[in-house]
Structure 1
Amino acid sequence: MTEQASREIVLHGIGGSPGICIGKAYLVDKDGVDVVPKYAVCQTKLEAEKKRFKVAVKKAIDELHAIIKETSAELRENAKILETHVVLLKDKMLYGRTIDTIDKEHINAEWALRKVVLAIKPLFEGMDDPYLRDRAEDVGNVCERIMKHLTGSAGVSIRTIDKRVILVAQDLSPAETSQIQLERVMGFVTDRGGRASHTSIIARSLEIPAVLGLEKATSTIRNDDIIVVDGTAGVVVVNPSEETLAQAETRKIEFENRRAFYARSGHLPAKTRDGIELTVMGNIEMPEEVVAVKDRGGDGIGLYRTEFQYLARQDFPSEDELYEHYKDVLDVMPGQPVTIRTLDINGDKAMAHNSDIEENPVLGLRAIRYCLKKPEVFITQLRAILRAAQHGQVRILVPMISKIEEVQQTRRLLEKAAESLKKEGFRHQRRVPLGIMIEVPSAAIMADALAREVDFFSIGTNDLIQYTMAIDRGNRHVAYLYSPLHPAVLRLLKHVTEAGARHNVPVFMCGEMAGESIYVPILLGLGIKELSVNAQAIPLIKSAVRAVDVEQARQFVDRLLQQTTIAQIEKLLETTYGDLKNNHHHIWER
């Protein structure tokens, strides 16, 4: 091996799933599906070309059904994703448009499909919510699967790997991650993807380390290279030195011991040193995730994002369908609160049956704005929620509120939904606590007035920071401005919690800030009563709560609010509570 080949290389990406693994790289080759031919098809051969496309789609559907059938119990959630892919394969937006394009433009199926996908993917990529933005991946995965059958490419079979490896790929589709066997695959590394991508979600559910968004992993790492994957720090070390290997091994043991300790302590209450108990709940996207929240000691569901049931389909889900989904979650959480957030997508962008394009979807017709413009869609969801509410403790959470009138309109529609259920003889719960998300600066500033209209606030820090700082957090050129510790953000949080306290309206938090243990003293000091985080973070956040004294945290927040720069705030936080960090210190810097 040459000196160049054996030199240690450090790659920085996004930590998709925490933990450390050390092992040999196994490159997953996509087999050249990206190279798409283009050629004209004469009128007499158009029917045959359309048939060739239909056959490729049929093969892709059959292949997915076979994978779903073989998917293990641990990956039930992944099977759900694959079912979404089956729906996408049949969808008019993809299937219908491709056939129309072959017909109208007299071009081959591969090129027609590529053209349609290039038009559809930006619709998802323009979404603000990272979870929805990463659904563009689903379109890409489905396209690749059809393309593989059109071009006769062999594709990837992770199932046949017969040694202990770390996967290295440009990207891994849900179908590929379904084939991961834990006794063979220690972790994985990808060029693309982010924390909210399916690849990342699956890695966290399997509890294996993953680093995503590395851009150059597949061009830098070669088969059988020794690599260290640190999914906590978002770092991959290629050809590590003896010293790096020793450090990584030590951190790996520390991480696994700590994970085992937190798992054992997850069901203990989150009670501060001075005896104040905080509620720590879970954020979920799909009903299947509720089990993970319960297993890790979650006190309920603080945010149930309901968008998933509306995506990649040609019609809206029925009231009965929604009711069954909500009831499934409530059945697993008897006697604990379940907070159902109403539809939070830009309808014109995320739904297959709506194709208008907005120039700036982040500031457009999304969430409550969309629901109030489509009251029939909104009332269907509200009726389903009120029906499900008889089975447990339901709370309704309305996203993207920017003015009082939106809350008043929502209340009127809620009343209308309850009236119609009563008339039709459906069993339901008429009175359900109604809360709003504080994620638009106008709502934070008007918190005093809004508190008179609602039962609780839930702060969505992801959007609140983005809108306060006037940045697109997905834009790497301005990502450095995205910080929960900006003094303007902290002052807004203080303003909201004080308004809540004055009007006896509890203030919760469900944004990413709630899931970082280093921020726990700030949130406790501000008087936030409940945190909602991803399932894996629950034991860690509970542990951090037990290390904090609330009175000291209040005094600390007063000092913090006197600082005027992020650097000053970070320094004060580090010197006072640095030991609470989610173990994000980097040993890889040279």
Structure 2
Amino acid sequence: MEREYRGKSVYRGLTIGPIAVLKKNDVQVKREKIEDAKQEIERVKQAVADSQAQLQHLYDKAVKEVGEASAAIFEVHQMMLEDEDYQDAIQNMIQTELVNAEYAVAVTGDNFAEIFASMDDEYMQARSADVKDISNRLVQNLRGDVSVDLSEMEPSIIVADDLSPSETVQMDKEKILGFVTVHGSTNSHTAILARMMNIPALIGVPVDLEELRTGMEAVVDGFEGKFVVEPGEEVKQQTEAKMREEAEKLKLLQELKGKETVTADGKKVHLYANIGSVGDIAGVLENDAEGIGLFRSEFLYLGKTDFPTEEEQFNAYKQALQLMAGKKVIIRTLDIGADKQVDYFNLGKEENPALGYRAIRICLKQPEIFKTQLRALLRAAVYGNLSVMYPMITSTEEVEQIFAIVEEVKQELDAAEIPYKVPEQGVMIETPAAVMISEDLAQMVDFFSIGTNDLTQYTLAIDRQNEKLDDFYNAHHKAILMMIRMVVENAHKYGKWAGICGELGADLELTDEFMKMGVDELSVAPGMILKLRKRICEFSKN
């Protein structure tokens, strides 16, 4: 039966297809009285068999993709599922207390996890999380509510309560038709990712995830902010007609490929793309960007259990430079913290993480993490046209500290006789403090890149992740535009270039304003490149 929901659109696009419902792993279980203990025990045995089959599949897949050593965890989970003590404890609880299988599994899992956690042996302590994991898997199988394997699913619309950056970065982007989330903000990373991938996305959709099933057909209409589950024939036909119309518009834009981005009165503007990983470079080339204006290096850190090594980083940066074949690649150094939390950094809970220990502050307080990244960057610079930019700058002293650490890295590489090159170095202007001292900063660095997402957040004192404040969040606020103008003027005063890499760069309502200000570069989601080129080429000051 057709059901329609409304939400806020974060990318204006259209799609139709099956949904994949993502539910959080922490399973809520109710205690229920049962009559037939034997039947419940049989259900547990079936759930164990299903879990074993899933784990075997995961093991086989992991062996192919990451090798036997990394796949071994799935073997460990299979062995733990077969453990007699674990299975006896579940069965005994069902028989003696006459409780449902889900509750018996959850309680037994908690009890065993607690025992492992209290042991002195580190290996056994680590098994605590594994017991919780297999217990969650068993409960999900008992409820017929197994989480979707995103790498194995057919192309689908992802429906979730909300998505974290580490969840979105692990998805196979080729298989995502759209995003629909119950919570989230128009400025969240899910929203940014949707715009970067050029796919329709809605947030704040009041849908009950328990009523949805993976595989149901749905429509996401980013133009009208509609999510239609099990659409009728009329809605399907209207959607398909709109999709054909959009495809025609896109075809016309393709004619701008290969053309320079020059205003009607002759000003050349650099039009670059924002990306989150090497895998996104196909979209950069496909949309004819002149380079990469923001490579979010933190995506090398997200979704991992330990710090990426110097070699891992070097290979990723080198590959990006080689693929871009001499075109500019601007890599932002580590920007972890705030809404991008990574467990192994042990950052701790903060009252206000957006104003806390994040980005360049982590790098300056923990220089060994920073030096590993800088070594990889300087080594990779030999292979292409690299620029590096440092985020969250608030003072000239921070820049001096950064340059001192770069000098140390150069000396280390010289001593080891490792080839390297010092790239162009710039700073991100994303705090009001950086705006106010931009004349001083312009005399120290090679370029400015204005991060409008954080600049807006800090200037308006609005947490951009807080959906309650969306009505107050005004990215076109006069103060923001005055700040951008000031930064551009101060850069030009000292012969430096200034660009915009935040979401505002792709706002077609402001393109003319940015051209009047003299902005030299705009870096946007790959899917916006040709639309923006069309607007810039039509602009004339006269």
Shorter-normalised TM range: 0.7 to 0.9
Shift of 1:260: 2.5
Matches within 5 A, 1:67-466: 108-109=108-109, 147-149=136-138, 151-153=140-142, 154=144, 155=146, 189-191=180-182, 201=193, 205=197, 209-216=200-207, 218=209, 228-237=219-228, 248=239, 250-346=241-337, 349-354=341-346, 356-429=348-421, 431-466=422-457
Question: Partner of 1:485: helix, strand, or coil?
Answer: coil
Shift of 1:236: 2.4
Shift of 1:264: 4.3
Preserved contact between residue 67 and residue 175 of structure 1 (Cα < 8 Å): no
Deviates more, 1:55-64 or 1:515-524: 55-64
Deviations 1:175-224 (A, max 9, x none): 99659879xxx65644356676669848975x654434413264787999
Deviations 1:84-123 (A, max 9, x none): x989999xxxx9xxxxxxxxxx963258889xxxxxxxxx
CA distance in 1, matches of 2:376, 2:24: 46
Deviations 1:198-253 (A, max 9, x none): 69848975x65443441326478799998542134533256889997776555333
Preserved contact between residue 5 and residue 205 of structure 2 (Cα < 8 Å): no
Shift of 1:280: 0.9
CA distance in 2, matches of 1:517, 1:112: 57
Structure 2 CA distance for partners of 1:375 and 1:248, relative to 1, 3 Å: same
Structure 2 CA distance for partners of 1:192 and 1:145, relative to 1, 3 Å: farther
Structure 2 CA distance for partners of 1:468 and 1:62, relative to 1, 3 Å: farther
Matches within 5 A, 1:392-541: 392-429=384-421, 431-541=422-532
| Match in the other structure for 2:13 | 19
CA distance in 2, matches of 1:18, 1:66: 39
Shift of 1:262: 2.4
After TM superposition, the score normalised by the length of structure 2 is 0.73
Question: Partner of 1:108: helix, strand, or coil?
Answer: helix
Task: Please report the RMSD computed on the Cα atoms of aligned residues, expressed in angstroms.
Answer: 4.7
| Match in the other structure for 1:584 | none
CA distance in 1, matches of 2:193, 2:63: 21
Shift of 1:461: 0.2
Shift of 1:514: 0.8
**Matched letter for residue 276 of structure 1:** K
| Match in the other structure for 2:102 | none
Preserved contact between residue 195 and residue 525 of structure 2 (Cα < 8 Å): no
- Please list every run of 5 or more consecutive structure 1 residues that lacks an aligned counterpart in the other structure: 40-53, 71-78, 96-105, 115-141, 553-590
CA distance in 2, matches of 1:353, 1:269: 43
- Please list every run of 5 or more consecutive structure 2 residues that lacks an aligned counterpart in the other structure: 33-47, 81-105, 115-130
Deviations 1:145-179 (A, max 9, x none): 872245534426689x9999967665797799659
Structure 2 CA distance for partners of 1:151 and 1:167, relative to 1, 3 Å: closer
Structure 2 CA distance for partners of 1:297 and 1:265, relative to 1, 3 Å: same
Matches within 5 A, 1:532-551: 532-549=523-540, 551=541
CA distance in 2, matches of 1:544, 1:414: 39
Q: Which has the larger radius of gyration?
A: 2
Structure 2 CA distance for partners of 1:145 and 1:449, relative to 1, 3 Å: farther
CA distance in 2, matches of 1:285, 1:62: 31
Structure 2 CA distance for partners of 1:245 and 1:519, relative to 1, 3 Å: farther
| Match in the other structure for 2:29 | 36
Preserved contact between residue 372 and residue 378 of structure 1 (Cα < 8 Å): yes
CA distance in 2, matches of 1:212, 1:66: 36
CA distance in 2, matches of 1:170, 1:508: 35
Preserved contact between residue 200 and residue 210 of structure 1 (Cα < 8 Å): no
Structure 2 CA distance for partners of 1:541 and 1:312, relative to 1, 3 Å: same
Structure 2 CA distance for partners of 1:37 and 1:59, relative to 1, 3 Å: farther
**Matched letter for residue 265 of structure 1:** L
Deviations 1:329-369 (A, max 9, x none): 00101111111111111399524252533222111121111
After TM superposition, the score normalised by the length of structure 1 is 0.68
Question: Partner of 1:517: helix, strand, or coil?
Answer: coil
Deviates more, 1:320-329 or 1:230-239: 230-239
Preserved contact between residue 512 and residue 539 of structure 2 (Cα < 8 Å): yes
Preserved contact between residue 303 and residue 338 of structure 1 (Cα < 8 Å): yes
Question: Partner of 1:369: helix, strand, or coil?
Answer: helix
CA distance in 2, matches of 1:31, 1:370: 29
Structure 2 CA distance for partners of 1:198 and 1:111, relative to 1, 3 Å: farther
CA distance in 2, matches of 1:379, 1:165: 40
CA distance in 2, matches of 1:456, 1:412: 18
Structure 2 CA distance for partners of 1:420 and 1:32, relative to 1, 3 Å: closer
**Matched letter for residue 330 of structure 1:** L
Question: Partner of 1:271: helix, strand, or coil?
Answer: coil
Structure 2 CA distance for partners of 1:396 and 1:58, relative to 1, 3 Å: farther
Structure 2 CA distance for partners of 1:10 and 1:360, relative to 1, 3 Å: closer
**Matched letter for residue 14 of structure 2:** I
Structure 2 CA distance for partners of 1:387 and 1:513, relative to 1, 3 Å: same
CA distance in 2, matches of 1:167, 1:453: 45
Identity of aligned residues (%): 31
Structure 2 CA distance for partners of 1:524 and 1:252, relative to 1, 3 Å: same
CA distance in 1, matches of 2:532, 2:425: 26
